[in-house]
């Protein structure tokens, strides 16, 4: 049986962040769906109440007008002659019902709330809406029992939706506590209103579904923007660990081989010490470069900006470089001042010069490197040009990426130089030089880095 806790522990940090993004998206969509559903229910219910109230007002006006035409004779019996002569009761259908006794409302099983408790005094011969007598009596009995107008939904004998309205009426000169003498019931066609209500329901439902999908998409985009910094940090961390493992593997293996050789006594101790020192210096340089690149990528290396003589800095870097018989010429026609971080710019220039000394010459020949410091308007430039074999075509487009030097090295030096240039608001470009070798141009704003750099 699979252990869920083991699977949960196996998730990488990146997978956890992506799972968090999915959860944020789902939560955003569910929250939006809850709000939209509540609004949709409210809108549908409000529309149902609205169309029923409109029909009720129209039927109330009709029944009140018909009630004004209803008369009683000297014995208190209903006289419908005037009503029938002056009002068409077939469309909308108008029914007149009376209680068996005008002086009291019977209780018990034959009370006004049962179909048998009211007598139909008038029913239209050919109504435009045919409803059952039981439905009419039930509507009238409800109004008489409640002693106030009542309306209800019903259906015709053909199953079409209608709205019924019942208005109780009282004997002439009735007192305030008099009981209703009967009720007038009218019927209105509700098929058009119900069809409109049904269309509104479908439109609202479809709109809610569309908005939920839209909110899910928006939530996915917003959650992506929210977790993007975390993913970038994780990517930088993974890149740093990969760089460290890749760069330190070779010198560490060399140290182990050298130690095993020394233990077997197969080499001179002086040579072992010299090679060990060289490997330790190489590893120290790699670790320093890795840490510098990691700080630049993460933005944790703040720029210590100050006025800087770029020409003097380049001359100092070339003097400190391990040329070992190689030729490096510096041309600085005049003073070039920039506002930059001296340590970072020194590292970038040193990396460019070191790259030219290592790779800027053919096998068996000495390197000839030319470093030029100048200014182009508001931009200061440091150009490092060699006479070597030039840029490999297969890595020309990604020369400043890690592991892309094209000559077996890590390419961290060029990557760090590019990051330094961009941190100061400048750039680093590579092209073919006049002598067929590589030319690297480091550009820095003469006025210093941008305010957000």
Looking at residue 451, its pLDDT comes to 44
The residue-averaged pLDDT of 296-315 equals: 79
> SS3 for 450?
coil
Residue 404 has pLDDT above 90, yes or no: no
pLDDT band at 366 (very low <50, low <70, confident <90, very high): confident
To the nearest 10 degrees (0 to 180), the angle between helices 269-298 and 191-263 is 160
Alpha-carbon span 318 to 307, nearest angstrom: 20
> SS3 for 175?
coil
The per-residue pLDDT of the chain, averaged, comes to 80
Q: What are phi and psi of 161, to 5 degrees?
A: -75, 135
Alpha-carbon span 426 to 442, nearest angstrom: 8
Looking at residue 435, its pLDDT comes to 81
Given a contact cutoff of 8 angstroms between Cβ atoms, the answer to whether 413 and 351 are in contact is: yes
Looking at residue 395, its pLDDT comes to 55
Predicted confidence (pLDDT) per residue in 12-55, tens digit: 778 888 888 899 889 988 999 999 999 999 999 999 999 999 99
Looking at residue 114, its pLDDT comes to 43
Residue 322 has pLDDT above 60, yes or no: yes
Predicted confidence (pLDDT) per residue in 114-169, tens digit: 444 788 888 888 888 899 999 999 999 999 998 899 999 999 999 999 999 999 98
What are the start-end ranges of the E strands in 317-400? 327-331, 337-340, 368-376, 379-386
Given a contact cutoff of 8 angstroms between Cβ atoms, the answer to whether 136 and 97 are in contact is: yes
Alpha-carbon span 224 to 24, nearest angstrom: 9
Checking DSSP bridges between strand 327-331 and strand 438-445, what pairing results, if any? unpaired
Q: Tell me the sheet residues that pair with 164.
A: 152, 187
First to last CA, the chain: 54
Among the listed ranges 83-87, 158-162, 200-204, 383-387, which one has the minimum average pLDDT value? 83-87
Among the listed ranges 3-7, 76-80, 147-151, 354-358, which one has the minimum average pLDDT value? 3-7
**Cα dist from 436 to 234, 382, 383, 392, 441, whole Å:** 41, 19, 15, 12, 15
The residue-averaged pLDDT of 249-278 equals: 74
Paired tokens of 83: 């009503």
Looking at residue 398, its pLDDT comes to 53
Paired tokens of 198: 């049904």
Among the listed ranges 85-94, 270-279, 412-421, which one has the minimum average pLDDT value? 270-279
Place of tokens 């196996």: 10
Among the listed ranges 83-97, 237-251, 380-394, which one has the minimum average pLDDT value? 237-251
Q: Tell me the sheet residues that pair with 430.
A: 440
What does the buried/exposed string (b/e) look like for 183-204 if buried means 16 or more CB atoms within 10 Å of the residue's CB?
bbbbbbbbeebbeebeebeeeb
Looking at residue 450, its pLDDT comes to 47
Paired tokens of 144: 């008489």
Residue 90 DSSP label:
B
pTM: 0.53
pLDDT band at 174 (very low <50, low <70, confident <90, very high): low
Alpha-carbon span 446 to 370, nearest angstrom: 22
More confident residue, 62 or 75: 62
Residue 150 DSSP label:
E
pLDDT band at 272 (very low <50, low <70, confident <90, very high): confident
More confident residue, 262 or 422: 422
Highest-confidence segment of 252-261, 280-289, 348-357? 348-357
pLDDT band at 111 (very low <50, low <70, confident <90, very high): very low
Q: Which of 68, 48, 64 is nearest to 149 (CA)?
A: 64
pLDDT band at 442 (very low <50, low <70, confident <90, very high): very high
Among the listed ranges 106-110, 284-288, 332-336, which one has the minimum average pLDDT value? 106-110
Q: Tell me the sheet residues that pair with 95.
A: 185
**Cα dist from 172 to 67, 176, 180, 369, whole Å:** 12, 12, 11, 123
Q: Secondary structure of 5-54 in the HEC alphabet?
A: HHHHHCCCHHHHHHHHHHHHHHHHHHHHHHHHHHHHHHHHHHHHHHHHHH
Residues with Cβ within 8 Å of 399's Cβ and at least 6 positions away in sequence, in order, are: 391, 405, 406, 411, 414, 430
Looking at residue 166, its pLDDT comes to 94
């Amino acid at each position: 049986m699979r252990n869920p806790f083991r699977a949960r522990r196996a998730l990488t940090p990146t997978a956890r962040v992506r799972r968090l993004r999915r959860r944020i998206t789902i939560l955003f969509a569910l929250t939006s769906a809850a709000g939209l559903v509540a609004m949709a229910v409210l809108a549908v219910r409000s529309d149902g109440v609205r169309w029923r109230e409109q029909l009720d007002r129209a039927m109330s006006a009709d029944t009140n007008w018909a009630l004004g035409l209803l008369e009683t004779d000297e014995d208190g019996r209903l006289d419908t002659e005037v009503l029938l002569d002056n009002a068409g009761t077939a469309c909308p259908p108008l029914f007149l019902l009376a209680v068996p006794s005008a002086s009291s409302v019977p209780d018990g099983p034959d009370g006004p709330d049962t179909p048998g408790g009211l007598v139909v005094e008038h029913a239209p011969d050919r109504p435009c809406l045919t409803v059952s007598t039981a439905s009419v009596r039930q509507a009238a009995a409800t109004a008489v029992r409640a002693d106030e107008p009542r309306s209800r939904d019903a259906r015709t004998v053909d199953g079409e939706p209608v709205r019924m309205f019942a208005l109780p009426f009282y004997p002439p000169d009735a007192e305030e506590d008099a009981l209703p003498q009967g009720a007038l019931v009218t019927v209105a066609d509700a098929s058009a209103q119900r069809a409109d209500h049904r269309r509104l329901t479908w439109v609202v439902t479809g709109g809610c579904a569309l908005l939920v999908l839209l909110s899910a998409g928006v939530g996915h985009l917003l959650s992506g923007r929210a977790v993007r910094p975390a993913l970038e940090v994780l990517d930088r961390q993974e890149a740093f660990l990969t760089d460290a493992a890749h760069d330190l593997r070779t010198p560490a293996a060399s140290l182990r081989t050298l130690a095993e050789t020394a233990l077997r006594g197969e080499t001179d101790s002086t040579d072992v010490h010299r090679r060990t020192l060289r490997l330790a210096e190489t590893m120290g340089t790699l670790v320093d470069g890795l840490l510098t690149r990691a700080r630049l990528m993460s933005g944790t290396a703040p720029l210590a900006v100050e006025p800087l003589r770029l020409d003097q800095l380049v001359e100092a870097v070339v003097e400190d470089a391990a040329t070992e018989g190689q030729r490096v010429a510096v041309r600085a026609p005049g003073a070039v001042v920039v506002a930059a971080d001296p340590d970072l710019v020194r590292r970038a220039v040193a990396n460019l010069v070191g790259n030219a000394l290592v790779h800027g010459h053919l096998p068996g020949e000495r390197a000839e490197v030319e470093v030029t410091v100048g200014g182009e308007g508001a931009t200061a430039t440091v150009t490092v040009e060699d006479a070597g074999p030039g840029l490999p075509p297969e890595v020309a487009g990604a020369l400043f990426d890690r592991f892309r030097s094209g000559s077996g090295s890590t390419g961290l030096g060029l990557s760090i130089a590019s990051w330094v240039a961009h941190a100061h608001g400048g750039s680093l470009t590579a092209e073919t030089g006049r002598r067929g070798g590589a030319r690297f141009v480091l550009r820095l704003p003469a006025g210093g880095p941008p305010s957000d750099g």
